[in-house]
């Protein structure tokens, strides 16, 4: 016999968000080895500024060599470290987070709990703030992984705050009250609101007005406010990023024990493999309990040592944030421009690693069944793994999350060529059946041949 956690379906792995990944893994795109494979556009990963970090590492070999002032620190790092973390690393993280927020917010390292990524941080907060069967309200559309991260092991329920495209998915008082009432009709005890700022999947930062509304709402209801600010350093366009802690300070709520922040280096520095996250809270009981729980998912000492040195380099962090934001903005613009040429629009975004793309005009009907059919065709026939809005709990079919920072410029060009060919085939061919399929297959082969020819030309040129 196995536990109920193992045998039930509550992990959420059957979501189209994860199923798209599975299809990609069966047939991953490679510029030369598999040019007809699936391009991964469902992964919110930042690969645009690796060169800056690699350059810093080349200039500081002693850090990778586990040395400090030419003396080895290997033994110190290899021996047992308690779960509070290295003081130098926590200090460096606090300063980096303050820099991202324009020094408008200060962080006390005694209120900081280190975790193995934001996934661990969010789940730990759920364990601390709610009992099985309690609920958190989350603005929808929301990150599909929350159905796993927040619910699977904790037993906490999620009630969507339904935001709509007609007002740019802004959080409203009416939507908050509606979600709260729906939760109570389901006999769920609401313990708090959780947001991602900037939003995943929308790529938009939460406005000061929305944050003020959220804090007023949670304070009146005497519930918790959790702000996942994992994308805070990716805001590349106006309006600038505003932390919930900044608004709380303006409202004289900066010491409120029901306000909590989650952060990670996975997106801003593009280091998801390093598993670096944290919880920040004014609540001493939460900090104490979360610190104890962190023993189940610690950040390795050598990782803390490396990043303490990197993040303490003020000149590097200033340059990195500036250059990375510029590259993200340019990449966003390339995606939006490429989609526009194919007659496809996007929600105006100012942060994150993705765009919320409007494909409603390509649906056969205004239903989620039609959205699923379109998504299947895009993944399996067009060869692009994107995430359908239904996986993000959107209540309006036809929207898709498309990631743009996890690939090279050349791969993005391939993706845009495929989109253009697909839309062109749909528009030009009004017939159905074999003729339509043959036309798209022919168009796709043409695009692949074009790409292989282009690669061969570039390779020949480089050999001369």
Within 8 A by CB and 6+ apart from 80, the residues are none
Distances (CA, A) of 357 to 39, 135, 183, 203, 234: 17, 30, 30, 11, 19
Rounded to an integer, what distance in angstroms lies between the CA atom of residue 238 and that of residue 39?
A: 30
Partnered with residue 39 across adjacent β-strands are 384
d(CA 300, CA 47): 23
* CA distance linking residue 385 with residue 23, whole number of Å: 8
Rounded to 5 degrees, what angle do the CA atoms 78, 313, 406 make? 85
Alpha helical stretches, state H, 312-407: 314-341, 368-377
Q: Which residues are catalytic?
A: 143, 228, 230, 267
Between β-strands 112-115 and 277-281, what pairing exists: parallel, antiparallel or unpaired? antiparallel
Q: Give Cβ neighbours of residue 194 (< 8 Å, ≥ 6 apart).
A: 122, 136, 137, 138, 146, 150, 226, 227, 228
Question: What's the CA gap between 19 and 1, in Å, rounded?
Answer: 27
Yes or no: say if 321 and 100 are a contact pair by the CB < 8 Å rule.
yes
Question: Cα dist. 61→67, 109, 137, 163, 345 in Å?
Answer: 9, 28, 46, 49, 46
């Amino acid at each position: 016999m196995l536990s109920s956690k193992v045998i039930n379906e509550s992990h959420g792995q059957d979501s189209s968000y994860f199923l798209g990944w599975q299809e990609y893994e069966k047939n991953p795109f490679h510029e030369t080895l598999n040019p007809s494979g699936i391009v991964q556009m469902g992964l919110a990963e930042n690969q645009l500024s690796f060169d800056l970090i690699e350059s810093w590492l080349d200039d500081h070999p002693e850090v990778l060599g586990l040395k400090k002032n030419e003396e080895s620190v290997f033994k110190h790092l290899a021996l047992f470290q308690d779960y509070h973390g290295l003081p130098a690393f926590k200090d460096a993280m606090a300063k980096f987070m303050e820099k991202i927020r324009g020094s408008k917010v200060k962080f006390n390292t005694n209120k900081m709990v280190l975790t193995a990524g934001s996934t661990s941080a969010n789940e730990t907060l759920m364990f601390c703030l709610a009992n099985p069967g309690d609920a958190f309200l989350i603005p929808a559309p929301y990150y599909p992984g929350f159905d796993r991260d927040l619910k699977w092991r904790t037993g906490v329920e999620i009630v969507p705050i339904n935001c709509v495209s007609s007002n740019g998915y802004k959080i409203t008082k009416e939507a908050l009250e509606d979600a709260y009432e729906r939760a109570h009709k389901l006999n769920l005890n609401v313990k708090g609101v959780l947001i991602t700022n900037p939003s995943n999947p929308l790529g938009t930062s939460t406005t000061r007005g929305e944050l003020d509304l959220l804090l007023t709402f949670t304070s009146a209801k005497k519930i918790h406010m959790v702000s996942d600010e994992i994308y805070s350093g990716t805001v590349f366009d106006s309006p600038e990023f505003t932390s919930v802690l900044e608004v709380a300070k303006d409202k004289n709520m900066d010491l409120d024990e029901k306000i909590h922040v989650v952060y990670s280096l996975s997106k801003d520095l593009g280091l998801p493999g390093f598993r670096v996250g944290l919880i920040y809270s004014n609540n001493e009981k939460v900090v104490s309990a979360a610190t104890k729980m962190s023993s189940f998912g610690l950040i390795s000492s050598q990782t803390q040592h490396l990043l303490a040195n990197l993040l303490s380099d003020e000149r590097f962090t200033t340059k990195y944030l500036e250059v990375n934001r510029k590259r993200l903005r340019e990449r966003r613009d390339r995606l939006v421009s490429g989609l526009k040429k194919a007659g496809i629009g996007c929600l105006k975004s100012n942060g994150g690693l993705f765009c919320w793309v409007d494909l409603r005009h390509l649906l056969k009907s205004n239903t989620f069944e039609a959205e699923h059919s379109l998504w299947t065709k895009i993944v399996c026939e067009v060869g692009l793994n994107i995430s359908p809005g239904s996986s993000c709990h959107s209540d309006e079919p036809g929207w898709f999350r498309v990631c743009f920072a996890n690939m090279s410029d050349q791969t993005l060009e391939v993706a845009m060529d495929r989109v253009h060919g697909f839309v062109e085939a749909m528009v030009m061919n009004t017939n159905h059946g074999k003729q339509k399929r043959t036309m798209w297959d022919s168009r796709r082969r043409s695009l692949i041949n074009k790409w292989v020819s282009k690669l061969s030309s570039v390779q020949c040129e480089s050999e001369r």
